[in-house]
Amino acid sequence: MAEKPAYIRRIEQVAAERERLETQTPEQMRSVVWKYVLPLEDCASIDMPIGCKVLSAGVQDEQICIWALVDPSDLIGTARYRFRIAGTGRPIKDSEHLDFIDTVLLMGGSLVFHVFQVG
């Protein structure tokens, strides 16, 4: 049986995470969403808390941003998280090692980029 496309796996991950969050007790609801700005590079990396979960990508103030679920009461350090940013129609190397996060639009939609987390 063929592997599901990355975008389908991502939709299922988000749905499972939402279900998990909806069933948490108040004592378990310690996580918050933090925003990180990605540099506009083909291969971008940023330091984020170990164990955080990348939720989505988007644009704010013409910058590509990542939003991640973080438990601030359980910060044990940071790790380098790597991302690939690809314009529509551009070749993507090693795509089998990438998890699709989101598609973002810059300059009023005239530039379209696809954000992947390197897995």
Is residue 110 one of the residues assigned to a domain? yes
Q: Give CA separation, 3 vs 6, 8, 58, in Å.
A: 9, 10, 27
- Lookup result for tokens 């506009």: 40
Beta strands in 22-73 (DSSP E): 32-37, 43-49, 53-60, 63-70
pLDDT of residue 18: 74
Helix, strand, coil shares of the chain, percent, nearest 5, are 25, 45, 30
C-alpha–C-alpha distance, residues 54 and 66, integer Å: 7
> What pLDDT, on a 0 to 100 scale, did the predictor assign at position 21?
67
Angle ∠(84,90,91) on CA atoms, nearest 5: 75
Could you read off the pLDDT tens digit of each residue along the chain, which spans 119 residues? 778 888 888 888 888 877 776 776 655 667 899 999 999 999 999 999 998 999 999 999 999 999 999 988 778 889 999 999 999 999 988 888 999 999 999 999 999 999 999 98
Cβ proximity of 68 and 79 under 8 Å: no
Domain contains 23: no
Distance CA 77, CA 82 (A): 16
User: In sequence order, what are the beta bridge partners of 87?
Assistant: 113
Does residue 17 lie in a domain region? no
Which residues form the domain of 107? 38-118
Predicted local confidence at residue 102, as pLDDT: 97
Domain tally for the chain?
1
Q: Give me the pLDDT at residue 17, please.
A: 77
> What was the pLDDT predicted at 25?
63
Confidence (pLDDT) at 70:
92
Q: For residue 5, is it within any domain?
A: no
